[in-house]
Amino acid sequence: MPIRPLSLPRVIGHRGAAEAAPENTLASFREAKRQGAHWVEFDAKLSADNRAFLLHDDNLDRTSNTTGPARARLYDEIRGLDAGSWKNPAFAGEKMPLLAEALSLFAQEDLRFNLELKPCPGRARETAKIILDELAHLWPAARPKPLVSSFVLECLEIARDQAPELPRGLLLEDHPANWLDLAQNLKTDTVNIWDGAATPEWVAEIKAEGFGLLVYTVNDASRAKQLIDWGVDGVFTDAPARILAAVGQ
């Protein structure tokens, strides 16, 4: 059972407010705050020159004006890409920000956050080490500690060993029989599960073991309310305002 209390919100803006703004951008985080979110979630990985920046996919194709693997590009190249027009011409010129820029914005806007370690293939170890080191140096010690999560077990092992003071979240896409062993071995504080795998029985099981429980990605208000009624602590959503109207803070 987790040993430290962790205050979780009912609503976390998924990649900011990804329904309204280009995901994982400063514009998206500002929009999440405008919609009333107190927490946001985002994905961080490394460029070819080991600079921590925000991007979900392994490739640049879906959320920029170029193609190819992110791990092959220097950050200065990535910085020159348009990461907004794919969503809406109003966001033309939006950048894939450095982790440092996102952290600065969160401090200014008083946003709490869940950082997902999202390494490019084969880069789990250096991704976790570099990003955790940046967090230690750049996130103000006086502010609430962020939740660090990952699907990649090696990343969570490194987080457990390198930054034991940071709350950790185990991300799961299905319902593995050994979920409890994984969570206990990694000393996680939360279990973050896919909406499609969530059942009343599994929710009750996770909560009975003392873990915080977050569900992704929930954009339907009635579903969000059902999950909260089951005992889920909070949901990740692309539409914070809509879900906040249904379940509150």
pLDDT of 159-217, one tens digit each? 999 999 999 999 999 999 999 999 999 999 999 999 999 999 999 999 999 999 999 99
Q: Which domains does the chain have, with CATH numbers?
A: 11-247 (3.20.20.190)
Catalytic residues: 14, 56
Q: Which tokens sit at 224?
A: 């969000």
This prediction's pTM: 0.97
Q: Which tokens sit at 50?
A: 């080991």
Residue 249 pLDDT: 86
Per-residue pLDDT tens digits for 118-165:
999 999 999 999 999 999 999 999 999 999 999 999 999 999 999 999
Rounded (10°) CA dihedral 202, 203, 206, 210: -160
> Which letter does DSSP use for residue 157 in this model?
H
Q: Which tokens sit at 229?
A: 């009624």
Encoded amino acid at 5, one letter: P
